[in-house]
Structure 1
Amino acid sequence: MLKFKYVHQSMLVLILTWVIAFYLQERFLVNLAISKCHWPGVKTTDDNDDSQNTNVLLIADPQLIDNHTYPGRNELLLTLSKHTVDTYIKKNYNVLLDKLKPDYIFFLGDLLDNGRDSTDLYFNNELNRFNRIFNPNKQMYFNVPGNHDIGFGNGVKVPIRNRFESTFGKCNEVTEINGVEFIALDTPSISSTDDVVSETSKKFLNDLPLKTKPRILLTHVPLYRDPSMSCGPLRESAYFDVNGRGYQYKNSVDAELSKTILAKIKPDITFTGDDHDYCDIVHDGGYREITVKSISMAMGKKYPAVQLLSFTNKESFKYDTEICFLRTPYINVVNYVILAVLSGIFIFWWNLKTKSTRFTYTSILPLHDVINIPVEQNSRKIQKFIREQDNEDYMEIKDNLSPLTSSTSSNTYSLPSSIPQYTFTQSNNNHGLMSKFNNTRLGKVYILNKRRIFNFLKRYNLISFIKQCGTMGSIVIFIYYVGFVITLY
């Protein structure tokens, strides 16, 4: 009973260790990272209270990975990848809302990884997944289209764009918040040379009235800039690839089109996405543009982030903006791997420590001091003792045998009826085949290795070790999903 309790006490210690590790990695450290982020307070000259500021959370490129993201990847590994990325985004997003409580949230495109090529059925399934992560409400705006949402340039498909607009809102739209115009511009479509694709965006841009209010421009594709311009110290990559191109992708709007957009809108500040990395520059004419980092851990950047914007338009328009770094991804995975190895070592050590009680001869007499005789060191003595006991039992049975009738030989005896007669249940056929196999060279090798493996497993309690590791792993996975994944949604 003591040994039974001790096993469960050891398992309980490990389980509590894992629960603490999960809490630290999945909750506490995520909260700690985001708790360092604060709204940049904007104060007026005669009012030191910044409570009148409007706080806007800007999120770029969640780009939820799907079945098309990693072609050829194993289905199980792909499912695990989707789960890991979704969980990372969801837990950080929940903490952002809880800690910062933004007044409005704007997304800067590439909501899904393959919205541009997916069927309606597939799109709706991915949309449900997106909604489970971000839980849309009326203070959230998703209507800035990205190249992964509708394509880019001549690759834009009008029916796909129409589907995007019916789901997330008009791709070209002016939203006024506290006297400030947030202008969403469909840069993937306006970059097309096909009039059917670009007509709507060009008309929207040309029909914009003269600027009478502060304006903030929101687009997915960054505007063109001098390739030699520095993006500032917060950028991970060495430089901004202005002319980068790919499948339905371009890293910046053409130079002339960029000038037209800035001249027509005259934005106080522009926020873009697409590049996945941070970039803060000022265009000719004093137009500032910030490219917002991706919120996802799967976009090839070590430090995912979001952008915080605070503005006031009480007396005059003033704004300030800061980057908010999220919990660095993969650190939790590394910690879990280390803890799993340590847990395995602990379980193995415990089994190694207790193996002696399974490989010793223990007296069954009720003595005060129990004497353990190691089997390995005393096997010959034990075998001799067993043989002597067998001989004594044999002589006792022989003395009790009943003589046969006088007609039989005087030295012939019969067994008493009380002794059971044992028979083999195995068929002679199978027994014969097994005997023949055992006598072969392969059979002898099989028997020898089988015994060696069995003795090795018993010597180090490896069977018990494997069972306990399996039990422990199942419990840990259950705790993680029930306590730290399901509770996110």
Structure 2
Amino acid sequence: MTTYDEYGIPVGAYSEPESLKHQAWRLARAFFLYRIRPIVWGRYSALRSGKWSFRRLFTLVNALVLLWWVVLYWGERGAFNGAVESCNWEKWEKWEAGANPHRLIFVADPQLIDPHTYPGRPWPLNPLTYKYTDLYLRRAYSRFQTVLYPDTTFFLGDLFDGGREWSTRTTTSPEKQYQKYGDAFWMNEYRRFGDIFLKHWGDGGMEARPGQPGRKLISSLPGNHDLGFARGVQVGVRDRFNAYFGDGNRIDMIANHTFVSIDSVSLSAFGQESPDQVEHLWHPTKDFLGTAKAQKKRLIQRELRVHQGLKPFPRMPHHEIKTEDLAKSPLPHADDDDDITEFPTILLTHVPLYRPQGTPCGPLREHWPPTPPSPGNPPLELDDRNAIAVRGGYQYQNVLNREITADIAEKVGDIQYAFSGDDHDYCEVVHRGYASAGGGIREITVKSISWAMGVRRPGVLLVSLWNPVDDKGRSRGSGGGKKTVQTRLCLLPDQIGTFLRYGVLFGGTLVLLLVRAALVALGFVESTRMERMEGPLLPMANTPNSSAETGKSASLYKELHPSSSSSSSSPEEEIGPRYPHPSNSSTSSERGTLQVRTAHRSLSPDTAYALPSAQQGTQTFPLVQHAGYNPANADDDSKGKVKTYGQSVSTKGKKPRKKRRGVTLFWYELRASLGKVVLCGVVVYVWLVWRV
């Protein structure tokens, strides 16, 4: 009786289809069971049986397989490991003996690829770009954590590429083509960012290094691709970013250094026309800058109290506060001490500070290296080719306005270093026209960590901090009049170059296999593959044509069985039948063995034990077709048939398969050898990609 569910559908009439992931797993499992495993088992069995030789092992095809394995491992593992290990802290840090510096990494512009990056790019090119950029970021970032194990990791903005475009509950994208992407899409991108960076932050461990307070990851600094730029910033988009990553305006005390982060993309709205109309965009950063010096001093006092073993906050005062004054009542803090010295101040901004057009970026800039000066002259003071262009466009501006930069330098105060992103390439400039701690502000624009951002060699910036201080915050030891910050550009592998090497190697592999297949077809080189069509797998019947052949078989048998030559006059009498014949199956030996058949058998390395055919000269068959054969029941030879257990097997029209020659052999060798190289390479490549 058929039963129905609450919707009126017969129970069991519908089953949930298998997911694509499960179907792919089943396909891979079947391919392994019915393709790969039989080949491996066949090679293993041949090796154990002694049929495999070193000559068959050391072939061109096997050499190419081994070469591909080495190149793939280098491209997917060795290049990353070597690049990160070359940046090891001990190789470039230069501090006094006994120093325990704080180690920090700046990561700039990961800009996760999304529909905004390459609009209109067809399938499957776009998904493959997503896959390989994410794989590159994950692999590089994981090795930073396991090999370098930084104490602090700072992101310098542009975490996403189209983050500003994805609508919120209160905003929509200014571009029509992206209005269909809503808040759910942004949340998926946030999970994707977490899977790449947040999830792998602890790959090397979570414990603090000896002498360090702990490990930190700070990713709150926004970029123009996260929020937009100036008037293009939407409050709803900014609030969403701040809710998940933190406020873009903040001050952090790290290793006796003051890190001041500012939301420069929102502040840039102040430098455009009619700034009063967009006060809600730039006003939070302006307020933050207005209190930056007081906040710096207060935080330094708290840090020094911790150094002295005291609590960072003094106790709350025990006096009555009126209700109307409660909202304005400040939290207690240590008394102002004019003797307290500020820590070195480091400014963090996504958009670089203003500089005159043509200010050179130095020799480490990849895309446009410095223009070589004429012989005997110093480097050029203005070099447009090597500089960051001072210009802007839709939702971006290469550098901040001159007025905004001067305002930041004045209100933050005593800036020694500045680190920025946005440009994707390395740039190092010393700003001498702004208020600083002396000697100008040394700004480093950090390279993008992504290989899809227009640079062949992505990278990060390593920073080593060492500033021991006394109870008043005055530097001592290496900090007394010396640098407290050391930096090193750490370059990552050239992923495009790796793909090009794979392509060149594939081209070389194809050429070598084409030459080899041609030489095999012409007979100059012996094929290392077994020709399966030359003969059947089972032994064939072979009737002796003369007494000489019979004698040859007997002598061969004696060579193979020298111990039995004295007790048996012929191999037939010694060997005996393997199975009784249907017409003569009675036992007749006093030893209880089966009756010895007098029919002649031949013994040869190719045919082993064989039964006679019905008549000399008839077509030969595998041994299995002669089971139960009775010559008395056989038809006339002219009919061309042989009876086997009542079934007629035709001997006419059956021709042995021809051995491959010429073009057929050429294509067979090419397909077989190329298929082996590709299959072995793909299996190893998938394993390397699967395991980051």
Q: What TM-score comes out, normalization by structure 1 length? A: 0.74
Assess, with a 3 A threshold, how the Cα gap between structure 1 residues 162 and 475 changes in structure 2: closer, same or farther: farther
Task: For residues 251-271 of structure 1, give each alpha carbon's deviation from its aligned partner in whole angstroms, at most 9, with x where no partner exists.
Answer: 011110000001111222110
1:131 aligns with 2:215: no
The letter for the 2-side match of 1:83 is K
More strand by share: 1
Cross-structure match for 1:41 = 93
Distance change >3 Å, CA 8–CA 206, structure 1 → 2: same
Aligned residue identity for 1:230? P
What SS is found at the alignment partner of 2:691?
A: helix
CA–CA separation in structure 2 for the residues paired with 1:96 and 1:114: 26
Task: Determine which structure has more spread, i.e. the larger CA radius of gyration.
Answer: 2
CA distance in 2, matches of 1:312, 1:197: 37
| 1:458 and 2:641 matched | no
Report which of the two has the higher share of helix.
1
Distance in 2, matches of 1:457 and 1:181, equals 75
Pick one of 70, 74, 99 that aligns with 1:50: 99
Matches within 5 A, 1:303-314: 303-314=457-468
**Corresponding residue to 1:269 among 417, 420, 426:** 417
Residue in 2 that maps onto 1:222: 352
* Unmatched 5+ stretches in structure 2: 1-45, 167-181, 202-214, 270-274, 297-341, 369-384, 435-439, 470-474, 553-616, 618-634, 640-647, 653-659
Partner Cα distance (2:195, 2:403) in 1: 40
Normalising by structure 2, we get a TM-score of: 0.54
Measured on the aligned residues, the alpha-carbon RMSD in Å equals 3.5
- The letter of the residue matching 2:495 is P
Q: Indicate the residue corresponding to 2:493 in structure 1.
A: 327
In 2 relative to 1, CA 132–400 (structure 1 residues): closer, same or farther, beyond 3 Å? Answer: closer
The Cα of 1:352 is off from its aligned counterpart by 4.1
Structure-1 separation of matches of 2:80 and 2:230:
38
The equivalent position to 1:476 in structure 2, one of 681, 684, 692, is 681
Residue 259 of structure 2: aligned partner: 182
User: 2:429 maps to what in 1?
Assistant: 281
CA separation in 2, counterparts of 1:158 and 1:456?
A: 74
Corresponding residue for residue 16 of structure 1: 66
Is the 1:42–1:50 Cα contact (8 Å) retained in structure 2? no
Q: Distance in 2 between matches of 1:50 and 1:199?
A: 42
> Which whole-Å deviations, capped at 9, do the CAs of 1:23-51 have from their partners, x for residues lacking one?
222222322223322435353xxx52222
Question: What runs of 5+ residues in structure 1 fail to find an aligned partner?
Answer: 369-388, 390-396, 402-417, 423-453
- What one-letter code is carried by the residue in structure 2 that aligns with 1:458? T
Q: Using the TM superposition, give the Cα deviation of residue 232 of structure 1 relative to its aligned residue in structure 2, in angstroms.
A: 1.3
Change (3 A) 1:121 1:7: farther
Equivalent position SS for 1:92: helix
- CA 1:399–1:148 in structure 2 vs 1: closer, same or farther (change >3 Å)? closer
Q: Which residue of 1 aligns with 2:184?
A: 121
Post-superposition offset of 1:470: 4.3
Asked whether the equivalents of residues 42 and 312 of structure 1 are also in contact (C-alpha less than 8 Å), the reply is no
Partners of 1:323 and 1:8 in 2: how far apart?
46
1:291: Cα distance to partner?
0.7
Q: Could you give the per-residue CA deviations for residues 246-293 of structure 1, whole angstroms, max 9, x where no partner exists?
A: 220100111100000011112221100001111111212412211111
Shift of residue 145, structure 1, vs aligned partner: 0.4
Indicate how the Cα distance of structure 1 residues 97 and 419 shifts in structure 2: closer, same or farther if over 3 A, else same: closer
Q: Name the amino acid aligned to 1:290.
A: I
Counterpart contact for 1:221–1:252, Cα < 8 Å: yes
- Structure 1's 481 and 120: CA in aligned 2 closer, same or farther, altered over 3 A? farther
Shift of 1:20: 1.5
1:66-81 → structure 2 map (5 Å cutoff): 66-81=114-129
Counterpart of 2:690 (choices 468, 486, 489) is 486
Runs of 4+ in 1 over 6 A off after TM superposition: 1-9, 357-362, 364-368, 397-401
Distance 1:8-1:120 versus aligned 2 partners, 3 A rule:
farther
Deviations 1:426-463 (A, max 9, x none): xxxxxxxxxxxxxxxxxxxxxxxxxxxx9985152x25
Pick from 165, 175, 198 the counterpart of residue 282 of structure 2: 198
Structure 1 residues 440-459: aligned runs within 5 Å: 458-459=664-665
Tell me the distance in 1 between the aligned counterparts of 2:249 and 2:99: 32
Q: Is 1:240 the counterpart of 2:445 in the alignment?
A: no
Q: Which amino acid aligns with 1:94?
A: S
Q: Pick which of 247-256 and 310-319 moved more.
A: 310-319
Q: Deviations over 1:444-489 (max 9, x none)?
A: xxxxxxxxxx9985152x255335534543442232122x22221x
User: Higher mean Cα deviation, 350-359 or 471-480?
Assistant: 350-359
**In 2, Cα distance between the equivalents of 1:7 and 1:75?**
43
CA distance in 1, matches of 2:104, 2:162: 27
SS of 1:199's equivalent in the other structure is helix
Equivalent pair of 2:253/2:259 in contact (CA under 8 Å):
yes
1:104 counterpart residue number: 152
* Closer, same or farther: CA 72–6 of 1 in aligned 2, 3 Å: farther
**The residue matched to 1:309 in structure 2 has which SS?**
strand
Distance 1:126 1:6 in 2: 54
The answer to which structure, 1 or 2, has the higher relative contact order (CA under 8 A, 6+ apart) is 1
1:428 is matched with: none
Q: State the alpha-carbon separation in 2 of the partners of residues 181 and 207 from structure 1.
A: 14
1:407-444 CA distances to partner (integer Å, 9 max, x unpaired)? xxxxxxxxxxx998x9xxxxxxxxxxxxxxxxxxxxxx
Residue 289 of structure 1 aligns with an amino acid whose one-letter code is E
CA–CA distance in structure 2, aligned partners of residues 468 and 479 of structure 1:
17
**1:58, 1:419 → 2: CA distance?**
81
Deviations 1:178-223 (A, max 9, x none): 3322111100001113111111111111121345332211110001
